[in-house]
Structure 1
Amino acid sequence: MKIAVIGGTGFIGSQVVKILKASGHEAVPHSSSTGLDLVSGRGLSEALAGTDVVVNLTDSPTFDDASLSFFRTTMDNLLLAAKEADVSHAVVLSIVGADLVPDLVYYRAKVLQEDILKAGPVPYSIVRATQFFEFIETVMSWTSDDETVRLPATPIQPMASADVAQAVVDVCVGVPLQGTRNIAGPEVFTLDELGRITLTMLDDRRSVITDSNAGIYAAASNDVLIAKSDAIIAQTTYREWLASH
C-alpha cells in the first residue's frame, strides 16, 4: 500500500512513516522541506500520484484566527488533489473534545478541518487524540516563573505520541471509517495534579498553584477533554513515559 504522509517529517508524521515502513508499506513523507506547499497546492499532484491513502498531519503555524483560514485552504486543496488522483482514503489527526471548547479558536479550526473532510469527495477517517505527554512541560511553561507554575484543575487524559502514531497507522491501513476514532491515555489527571507529578519526577523544586484562569486549558470546563467510553485506550502511563524520557 502506498501512503502519502503530509507533514511526514514532523513530530507525529516522522513516527508514522517509520512504523508504516517497518510494516512493509510504501510510506512517503511530504512537507515544505520536500517541496510541498499545502497552502498554495504546489507539489500536491506529484505527491498524491499513485497513492492509495493520504494522511494529513500538518498543523497550523498559529493558534489564533489565522488557523481557521489555514485549515480551510489546506483541506480544500488536499481533497481536490486527492479526488483527481483517485485516492481511496483520506485521514486526519484531530483532538478529543475539539467540538466542546468553542472558546478556543484553534479547536474551532480543527472542527472546521473535520467538517471539510466529512463533506468532501474522498472516503475518510478522523483520529481524535488527547494531549500528548511530550507537550505537558510546554503547557506548564506558558504560565510559570522561577518559583511557581500556575495551572487550572482541568481534567485531561494524556497519552504518548508513540501511541498516537500507532493509532494513526492502524487507521491508515484499514478501511475508511466514515467516522471518528477516539484515542486516549490510560489515566485521567487534573492538569494541576499532573504538573505536581511532573515537577516531583524531574526533581524541580517549583510549586504548582491551582489557578482556574491560567493558560488556554482554563477554557475547557468539566470533562470535555476526557475520552468517552468508545475510545481506544493506550497502555503507556505518564509515570512510565516520564521515567524513560
Structure 2
Amino acid sequence: MRIAVLGGTGLIGSQVVGFLAADGHDAEPLSPSNGVDLLTGEGLDAGLKGADVVVNLTNSPTFDEKSPEFFRVTMENMLAAAQRQGVGHAVILSIVGVDQVPALDYYRAKVLQEDVLKGGPVPWSIVRATQFFEFVKSVLSWTSDGDTVRLPATPVQPLASADIARAVAGVCAGPPLLGVRNVAGPEVFTLDKLGRVALAAQGDPRPVVTDPAAGMFGAVEGDVLTAPGDAVIATTTFREWLATQK
C-alpha cells in the first residue's frame, strides 16, 4: 500500500513513516523540503499520485486566532488533490476532547479541520490523541516566571509520541473508519502533578504552584482531556518515558 504522509518529517510523521515502512508499506514523507506545500497546494498532485492513503500530520504555526484559517486552507487543498488523484482514504490526527473546549482558539481550529474532513469527498478516519509526553516541557516553559511554575489541576492522560505514531500507522493501514479512534496514555495526572514529576526527574528544584488560570489548559473544564470509554490505551508510562530521556 502506498501512503503519503504530509508532515512526514516531524515528530509524529517521521515515526509514522518508520512504522509503516517496517510493516512493508510504501510510506512517502511529504513536506516543503521535497516540494509539497499544503498552504499553496504546490506539489500536492504529484505527491499524492498513486497513493492509496493520505495522512495529514501538519500543524498550524500558531495556536491563536490565525490557526482556523491554516487548517481550513490546508485541508481543502489536500482533499481536492486527493480527489483528483483517486486517493481512497484520508486520515488526520486530532485531540481527545477537542470539541469540548470551545474557549481555546486552537481547539476550535482542530474541530474545523475535522469538520472539513468529514464533509469532504474522500473516505476518512480521525485519530484523536491525548497530550504528548514531549509536550510537557513546553507547557512548563509557558507558565514559568523563572523561579516558579504555575499550572492548573486539569486532568490529563498523556502518552508517548511513539505510541501515537503507532496508532496512526495502524489506522492508515486499515479501511476508513468514517469515525474517530481515541488513543490515550495509561495514567491520569492532574497537570500540576505531572509538572512536579517532570521537574523532579530533571533535578529541577522549582516548585509548582497550582493556579487554575495558568496557561492554555486553565480554560479546560472537567476531565474532557482524558480517555473516553472507547479509547485505545497505550502502555508506556510517563516515568518509563522520562527514563529514556536521560
Does residue 123 (structure 1) correspond to residue 123 (structure 2)? The answer is yes
RMSD (Å) for aligned C-alpha atoms: 0.6
Q: TM-score scaled to structure 2, two decimals?
A: 0.98
1:29 corresponds to: 29
Counterpart residue type for residue 111 of structure 2: V
1:64 CA drift (Å): 1.1
Q: In structure 1, how many angstroms separate the alpha carbons of the residues matched to 2:77 and 2:147?
A: 47
After the TM superposition, which of the residue ranges 141-150 and 222-231 deviates more from structure 2? 141-150
How many equivalent residue pairs? 245
1:227 CA displacement: 1.3
Amino acid in structure 1 at the alignment position of 2:202: L
Give the corresponding residue for 2:113: 113
Query: Where do 1:82-231 residues align within 5 Å?
Result: 82-231=82-231
Deviations 1:47-67 (A, max 9, x none): 000000000000001111111
Letter matched to residue 198 of structure 1 = A
Offset from partner CA, 1:194-237 (integer Å, 9 cap, x none): 11111111111110000011000000011011111100000000
Q: Find out whether 1:45 has 2:28 as its counterpart.
A: no
Structure 1: runs of 5 or more not aligned: none
> What is the deviation of 1:146?
2.8
Counterpart AA for 1:112: L
TM-score, normalized by length of structure 1?
0.99
Q: Specify the SS of the correspondent of 1:64.
A: coil
SS at match of 2:127: strand
User: How far off its partner does 1:243 sit?
Assistant: 1.1
The DSSP-based 3-state class of the residue aligned with 1:181 is strand
- Which sections of structure 2, spanning at least 5 residues, go unmatched? none
CA displacement at 1:31 relative to structure 2? 0.5
Deviations 1:131-152 (A, max 9, x none): 0000101101101133210000
* Separation (CA, whole Å) in 2 of partners of 1:148 and 1:229: 36
Q: What is the aligned partner in structure 2 of residue 60 from structure 1?
A: 60
Counterpart for residue 78 of structure 1: 78
Deviations 1:10-62 (A, max 9, x none): 11101111111111110000011111110110000000000000000000011
AA matched with 1:45: D
Aligned residue type for 1:9? T
Q: 1: CA distance between counterparts of 2:201 and 2:29?
A: 35
Provide the secondary structure at the position in 2 that maps to 1:169. helix
Q: In structure 2, how many angstroms separate the alpha carbons of the residues matched to 1:33 and 1:5?
A: 13
SS in 1 for 2:182: strand
Structure 1 distance, partners of 2:16, 2:101, is 28
Deviating runs (4+, > 3 A) in structure 1? none
- What is the alpha-carbon distance in structure 1 between the residues aligned to residue 176 and residue 37 of structure 2? 26
Question: Which amino acid in 1 is paired with 2:116?
Answer: I
In structure 2, the partner of 1:239 is 239
